[in-house]
Copies of this chain bind each other. A is one copy, B any other.
Amino acid sequence: MRVSAKADYAVRAAAELAAAEEGPIKGERLADAQDIPLQFLEHILLELKHAGIVRARRGAKGGYWLARPAEEVTIADVVRAVEGPIAHVQSAPPESIEYRGNAEHLQEVWIAVRASLRTVLEHVTLADLVSGQLPSEVESLAAQPDAWVAR
């Protein structure tokens, strides 16, 4: 139930790419801007590339850019590219698990957990993230003061 450094890095790098309007951006510039270890970041960018989220060119004038417009890339896309499926239980998707006895309805709970994560992660695009204009449902979740205190 935690967000890995890798996923956090990936989203931050993607946000930088979404913000840059001109040409390819070098890995080093992304690493500097977001304070991410360069060599680790390049592995992450490679995964994003394989997932079709990012494109790249080598050589002088090379760098990375988004494969699609920032309005069409969600945070869920980025997270899935580096962490795999969201909200798996025991490394299996919740819809495939069979619960017995008094835990029978636990499946619905994990499904609801996944659905609620999706309502946030699949609705915030990189463009939203950069502009700070989050979707209203997400905004209202983050707006309640309660959400900002640890438990």
A residues at B contact (CB < 8 Å):
1-5, 7-8, 11-12, 15-16, 18-19, 33-35, 75-76, 79-80, 83, 85-91, 93, 95, 99-106, 108-121, 124, 129-130, 132, 134, 138-139, 141-142, 144, 146-151
List residues of chain B with CB within 8 A of the CB of A132. Answer: 104-105
Counted per complex, copies of this chain come to 2
Please determine whether B101 and A147 come into contact, CB atoms closer than 8 angstroms: no
Per the bound structure, the CA–CA distance linking A79 and B2 in Å amounts to 12
Please determine whether A106 and B15 come into contact, CB atoms closer than 8 angstroms: yes
Interface residue from B8, B15, B102, B120 paired with A102 (Cβ < 8 Å): B15
Please determine whether A90 and B1 come into contact, CB atoms closer than 8 angstroms: no
List residues of chain B with CB within 8 A of the CB of A3. Answer: 1, 87-90, 110, 113
